[in-house]
Amino acid sequence: MSLQSDKIIILGAGPAGATASLFLSKAKINHTVIDKAIFPRDKICGDALSGKVLPVLKKLNPDLIPQLLVHNNNCKPSNGILFAAPNGKSLEVPFKPVTSTLTHSPGFVSKRIDFDKSLVDLFDSNYCNFKQGVEIKRLSAPITKSGLKQRVVKFMKQIYSLPVMGHTALPTNF
């Protein structure tokens, strides 16, 4: 597998890019993931994994939730988020369980350095060509940003019946 022969290239190995890679590998589709960082790497983030993440992980592999979240010392259960302002006012946002049969918390908190690395560690080298420490300076593509985005969204919905998570795997300056 080489970068030149792959028809799918994912820019960024954060949760959205890593999950896309894992679904592609599950479907035995060759692809390349490129990230400018070398893992493990830290990222500024609120570190919360709401209940919306759990069905996606379960669809990928039901064993991932216990493996990555429940039995992981770097991951803590969470029932919601509390936002507090300097004036003392606060806003509580509870995580609603997606299903009433949960045997664990509806959400989790994990530092990005740990969660992202745990996803990257699951990459299947039979299908995923992972390039770390590679920064993309410029892209040239024969189609427009909106055309590419529509093709990615259509692929994810058609193949996996999933909403596209987080952000698209497109750089903001595309």
- Determine whether 20 is exposed, middle or buried from the number of CB atoms within 10 Å of its CB (0-12, 13-18, 19+): buried
Question: Mind listing the pLDDT tens digit for each residue in 13-70?
Answer: 999 999 999 999 999 999 999 999 999 999 888 888 887 888 888 899 988 888 888 7
- Domains present along the chain, CATH in parentheses: 1-46+113-174 (3.50.50), 48-110 (no CATH)
Q: Rounded to an integer, what distance in angstroms lies between the CA atom of residue 163 and that of residue 147?
A: 17
Question: Mind listing the pLDDT tens digit for each residue in 112-143?
Answer: 999 999 999 999 999 999 999 998 877 655 55
